[in-house]
Amino acid sequence: DIVLTQTPLSLSVTPGQPASISCKSSQSLLDRDGATYLYWYLQKPGQSPQVLIYEVSNRFSGVPDRFSGSGSGTDFTLKISRVEAEDVGVYYCMQSIQHPKTFGQGTKVDLK
Amino acid sequence: EVHLVESGGGVVQPGGSLRLSCAASGFTFANYWMSWVRQAPGKGPEWVGNINPDGRVKYSLDSVKGRFTVSRDNAKNSLYLQMNSLRAEDTAVYYCARDMRYFDWLGQGTLVTVSS
């Protein structure tokens, strides 16, 4: 199974300041079709996970442009340009290049 | 708007069985792969299994193979998860998800507790 390792595991951010989360994969997520199957989710307190970014860098419908994703192969990053109160929660990366689809262990983001 | 509503969760003894259902609306259910994703208390999400649009192709997590079965009824816009031989480690919130290779929509989940 592919293992996704996120760092840091927790992050305390001042509102208006940037934040960055890393996700490293045990195998390349670049498929033969040219796509890279890495996604980012946010789970707000008491809610289901919601997708933010698909295929490394594409924002899902309705996701604010302060969220951006980058990376390639095995190393990926989610950046929040200016953290807002509604961004609090746990962020997960996920891969779907092969079954089983797997998630990172999560990064908890809260406000200072 | 896509709407997924899970039901069927509850408390069951180890070794018991439970069948979860997911009612889908707001999209053409028969055209999409569907998945079940679970989340144990205090843990991250874990993909359990999925099924292709016509129900003939399925994949599942090794730890549930032979115990859990994903099925669907496209006429009823419904997804199911039959869970047998339940173990304490199956305790989790179970989410139904539309599977676009990633989960673009998830329901609110139904809690399954395996305990004596």
CB contact under 8 A, A100 and B107: no
Mean model confidence pLDDT for chain B: 98
Q: In this complex, is the C-beta atom of B42 within 8 Å of any C-beta atom belonging to chain A?
A: no
Q: What is the mean pLDDT of residues A47-68?
A: 98
- Nearest to B34, CA basis, from B77, B79, B65, B66: B79
Q: Which residues of A touch B60 (CB under 8 A)?
A: 100
- What's the pLDDT at B57? 97
- What's the pLDDT at B41? 96
